[in-house]
Homo-oligomer: A and B are copies of this chain.
Amino acid sequence: MSAFVRSEWYAIARSEEVSRTLFKRTILGEDIVLFRTLAGEAVALRDRCPHRFAPLSMGTLKGDTLECGYHGLTFDCAGRCLRVPGQERIPPGAVVKSYPVVERYGLVFGWMGDAALADRAELTDIAQYGTPDWGVSRGYHHFGANYLNIIDNLVDPAHTSFVHRRTIGNTAAEDIVIEAREDGYTVCAGRWVDNAPPVPVVQRFAAPAGMVDRWQLYYLKVPSVSWVDFGSLDAGSGHTPEAQARAPYRVLSYAFLTPEKVGATHYFWFQLRNVAVDDAAVTAEFEALYRATFDEDKALLEAIQRTEDRDPGLTPVRIASDAGVVRLRRIVERRLAAEASSIEAPSRG
């Protein structure tokens, strides 16, 4: 069974990384070269010439074609070979894998599975993104840790009281029980805290007159999309989506996790906030805060990865706050098993 779910839109680059200069990134253990056509469309090809395996990223972009830097084999955006210098015939194997691409949310997403199954509608929809009511802060981390350990962490509100004591956590929530539920490929873990005084950040940006109900919900769409929905309402406004949509303070913190290889993960993140939307200083403040927070996760998760690499057979002792973790690991297993059986199916018939 593969280590990775393949039938998925994975974030592979930030929009600004993809240009007329060839850009290389490794995803799911595959080297990919990215560029833009003359018309500005992002293109993703396997970064390996089928002739002698030279990285195409060491070649030359000529119009909308890519010329290998070793012997000049030239490919179009679909990976078809257009030219082999010194001969007329194009050998049938002279093909480069091309990845379906969608560009949204300032990110270039690539479909890593069977191209025939790529459906843009499956890309997570974020209605708030790009509307004038929401400000955006963003960044990128590289984690020397397997994506499984990272998604564990992202559906586990309990860790914030300890890992993020210096940034976003606090000790008050240490003993609050977390509920977890699942819906399709998505796990949600979180809680509502009702009729409480506003936390400092809410006080600062929304200044409510009295007590508030606040929520903190961790969503993880297996295997690669995480969002944390945090907000605050006047006490008694109700726990409905409609009430949440009218909240005076709300932050949606997204992370797109893309395995680089076993044991290393690209971590693309942004936050949407409905306060101080156009304030560049607040954007910078959010970016610094989340960068520091993810640095804390990174240090811990990389240490755990080193331990697991050295002692591969370790079995965790489960505790109550693992409710979400256990669910999402089961969904990962289910997706991997489904992909393995669909790959094996043809040979059975």
Binding site for B on A (CB under 8 A): 29, 31, 48, 50-55, 58-59, 67-73, 84-87, 91, 93-94, 152, 156, 158-159, 161-163, 174-178, 299-300, 303-304, 307-308, 310, 314, 316-321
Report copies per complex.
3
Q: Known contacts A54-B304, A300-B58; is A319 also within 8 Å of B68 by CB? A: no
A276 to chain B, nearest CB (A): 32
Q: How many angstroms between the C-alpha atoms of A85 and B260 in the bound complex?
A: 33
Is B316 a contact of A53 with CB atoms below 8 Å?
yes
A157 to chain B, nearest CB (A): 10
Chain B residues with CB below 8 A from A52, complex form: 152, 304, 316
Is A50 a contact of B317 with CB atoms below 8 Å?
yes
Chain B residues with CB below 8 A from A68, complex form: 162
Which of B72, B91, B174 makes the CB contact (< 8 A) with A85?
Answer: B174
Q: Known contacts A54-B300, A54-B304, A300-B69; is A321 also within 8 Å of B161 by CB? A: no
Q: How many angstroms between the C-alpha atoms of A32 and B62 in the bound complex?
A: 48
A76 to chain B, nearest CB (A): 17
Q: Known contacts A58-B299, A69-B163; is A175 also within 8 Å of B86 by CB? A: yes
The list of the 5 closest CB pairs from A to B, nearest first, reads A93-B317, A87-B320, A50-B317, A85-B174, A72-B162
Q: How many angstroms between the C-alpha atoms of A159 and B67 in the bound complex?
A: 13
Q: Known contacts A54-B304, A55-B307, A86-B175; is A71 also within 8 Å of B158 by CB? A: yes
Q: Known contacts A53-B304, A86-B176; is A317 also within 8 Å of B94 by CB? A: yes
Is B319 a contact of A71 with CB atoms below 8 Å?
yes
7 pairs, A vs B, C-beta closer than 8 Å: A51-B319, A55-B303, A71-B159, A72-B161, A91-B319, A94-B317, A94-B319
Is B303 a contact of A54 with CB atoms below 8 Å?
yes
Is B158 a contact of A319 with CB atoms below 8 Å?
no
